[in-house]
Amino acid sequence: MKLTAVPLQDLSPESRSSPARVTQVIGNHQIAAIFDDIADLLEIEDANPFRIRAYRNAARTLRASTVVVSELIARGEPLPKLSGIGADLSGKIHEIATTGDCALHQRLRTTLPAGLVELLSIADLGSKRVKHLYHDLGIETIEQLCQAAKQGRIRQLAGFGEKMEARLLRAAQKGIGREHRLPLAVVAPLAQGLAEYLKQLPGVASATVAGSLRRMRDTVGDIDILVAAAHSVGVVAHLINHPDIATVLAKGRTRASVMLRSGMQVDLRVVDPAVYGAALVYFTGSKAHNIAIRQRAQKQGLKLSEYGVFRAKKCLASATEDAVYHALGLPWIVPELREDRGEIAAALAGCLPTLIELGDLKGDLHAHTLASDGSNSLEEMALAAQEAGLEYLAITEHSRSLRIAQGLDVDRLLKHIDQIDVINAGVRGITLLKGVEVEILEDGSLDLPDDILRRLDLVVGAIHSHFGLTLRQQTQRLLRAMDHRYFTLLAHPLCRLINEREPLDLDLPAIIKAARQRNCCLELNAQPQRMDLFDLQCRYAMDEGVLICINSDAHRTADFGYLRYGVAQARRAWLGKQNVLNTRSLKDLRTFLSSSGG
Ligand code: DGT
Ligand code: CA
Ligand code: CA
């Protein structure tokens, strides 16, 4: 029921008029999300219920389908027969797969008041309720919703009531002033592309992505790019000429702010190569880190600015970051640590951690194939994992209760295990482990019987339902699941989806303590919308002696590329290789699994 962000890809008129061009492969779930948006908006428009249902059914079919429709379209192959998807919806799928959106969706988004889209993002407000608020009370924005709730007008609508009114008011107040941030993995390739583009301009010495992107924060508010060039004028013009730029918000000789077609802002700063280091420290941030190192400079009788480190008027350092930190009596600090979370004290004491690197990962313990809701076969996933430099990969399909993802029952899981043996016998250089992503049911019991779980190498447990339990209930549910003797790893513990679902209400310290006592691991799930656990929580878990496992939760071969973002988040959590389970060799991993799995 939640609206998706406008897809981040080329929506220029040129690309829309050449339907054969697929700018990037769009997953079924992205097309499904647009169909769900369309259904929501049609509902608000009071369209024919059959038409609305057709879009909802099509979204469900797409999510459950094992073929990636946009890949077929890219190859010019016909779509297979999908239940409930006739000629009209097929046409829409083609349109979305080739252009990133469809005219109907855009028409609905532009003809209905823009605020309704935001209203739909409020918890408890589905399209039916938004329709009533809009038609019966004329509510179009979050502000109007707050006002009506305060005046007690919402409780008078059929099906709302006093409790709902209070809940809506709380949710709406949270929604006001909310920042628009996108997942790191969505923005990083765009930003990198822009930096490469700027580097091509003659006279540009370097172009670097700075800000939260360089610190690899899980979400990004805007893109900051720093360019070193002796002559700044051409750089701003070159950026403005880039085809992805929709509007120029501000421009000067050495700076510009522009809006990309995707709705993301870019701040460009051009500096002289002589002050590049100081500017890079400043624009990398974080603001809190900048303030802390500036205070340190002041204590030493120095002044730190984006132009360098100064004693009176004399510049001591400015050309490189290394020189700037050294002038302050500090070693260079990696961007991921620059959050004023103790990194300066650690640097002064000479005890900055040796952080995990992507190359330290030896395996991935969470992945899906065509057998549940993945898009590739066992063999394809095995080869892709090997290609990504891994030595082992745990196949962890969903279990039977998660029907939307074609969860496996006992028979299918047993057959799948046999298939894994076949692949292991045939493919060299990578070992597939037998696992499952078993549903943690509402009462904390697991979705499959013990005698099946016992046969597996590892049991990954996860929640995909009943997100709204109270803190106490939710915590008890997880503790009970972790009590299970075969339980190995808690997947995406907080179940948040960036811009879509808030993290669970949980007593995380209790979960972390239980994980230590039971020798369970906690996952750092690297799917772009998840990035779960968060950095500070991983750090807390590490401090409490709990191992973290960085997993891609791959649903397709390309998803192993997300591991680098998981590793980045682990670095932000100060984790070293020793704190991460899947840096261990297969032999050492097996030792751990046999000790933790009962
Ligand atoms: P974001 O864009 O919200 O994801 O986060 P950032 O960290 O990229 O923030 P942004 O784009 O507003 O600013 C980029 C960097 O510029 C920031 O990390 C540190 C620096 N900066 C911005 N404003 C200030 C400020 O008021 N004081 C100091 N010391 N530094 C600032
Ligand atoms: Ca930024
Ligand atoms: Ca900025």
CA of 193 to the centre of ligand 1 (A): 21
Whether ligand 1 lies within 6 angstroms of the CB of 224 is answered as yes
Q: What pLDDT sits at residue 3?
A: 36
Report the nearest atom of ligand 1 relative to the CA of 294: 29
Give the residue, out of 220, 225, 226, 287, with the most ligand 1 atoms within 8 A of its beta carbon, to mutate for a pocket test: 287
The CATH number of 183-348, from 2.40.40.20, 3.30.460.10, 3.40.920.10, 3.40.1710.10, is 3.30.460.10
Q: What is the mean pLDDT of residues 141-168?
A: 90
Q: What pLDDT sits at residue 344?
A: 97
Tell the CATH topology of 8-111.
DNA polymerase; domain 1 (1.10.150)
Checking if the pLDDT of 232 tops 90, the result is no
Q: What is the mean pLDDT of residues 365-374?
A: 96
Which helix (H) or strand (E) element contains residue 256? Answer: strand 255-260
Q: What pLDDT sits at residue 79?
A: 85
Q: What pLDDT sits at residue 534?
A: 96
Which helix (H) or strand (E) element contains residue 535? Answer: helix 535-543
Return the higher-pLDDT residue of 10 and 562. Answer: 562
Q: What is the mean pLDDT of residues 98-103?
A: 86
Q: What pLDDT sits at residue 271?
A: 97
Give the residue, out of 224, 249, 280, 295, with the most ligand 1 atoms within 8 A of its beta carbon, to mutate for a pocket test: 224
Q: What is the pLDDT of residues 535-561, one digit of tens each?
A: 999 999 999 999 999 999 999 999 999
pLDDT confidence band for 5 (50 / 70 / 90): very low
Q: What pLDDT sits at residue 176?
A: 61
Q: Where are the domains of the chain?
A: 8-111, 115-175, 183-348, 358-596
Whether ligand 1 lies within 6 angstroms of the CB of 376 is answered as no
Q: What pLDDT sits at residue 597?
A: 62
Q: What pLDDT sits at residue 21?
A: 38
Degrees (nearest 5) of the Cα angle 451, 453, 457?
A: 125
Q: What is the pLDDT of residues 12-50, one digit of tens each?
A: 333 333 333 333 467 787 788 899 989 999 999 999 999
Q: What is the mean pLDDT of residues 471-487?
A: 96
Superfamily of domain 115-175: 5' to 3' exonuclease, C-terminal subdomain (1.10.150.20)
Percent of the chain with pLDDT over 70: 94
Whether ligand 1 lies within 6 angstroms of the CB of 107 is answered as no
| pTM for the structure as a whole | 0.75
Among the ranges given (176-190, 283-297, 386-400), the one the predictor scored with the smallest mean pLDDT: 176-190
Checking if the pLDDT of 118 tops 80, the result is no
Task: Evaluate whether 8-111 and 115-175 have a shared fold.
Answer: yes
Q: What pLDDT sits at residue 39?
A: 94
Q: What is the pLDDT of residues 70-95, one digit of tens each?
A: 888 888 888 888 888 988 999 999 99
pLDDT confidence band for 4 (50 / 70 / 90): very low
Whether ligand 1 lies within 6 angstroms of the CB of 113 is answered as no
Q: What are phi and psi of 249, to 5 degrees?
A: -85, -40
Whether ligand 1 lies within 6 angstroms of the CB of 283 is answered as yes
Quick one: CATH architecture of 358-596?
Alpha-Beta Barrel (3.20)
Which helix (H) or strand (E) element contains residue 571? Answer: helix 563-572
**Is the Cβ–Cβ distance between 252 and 243 less than 8 Å?**
no
Residue 597 in tokens = 């799995």
CA distances to 9, 98, 428 from 243, rounded to whole Å, are: 11, 18, 45
Question: What is the spatial distance between Cα 3 and Cα 118, in angstroms, rounded to a whole number?
Answer: 8
Whether ligand 1 lies within 6 angstroms of the CB of 286 is answered as yes
Question: What is the spatial distance between Cα 270 and Cα 276, in angstroms, rounded to a whole number?
Answer: 9
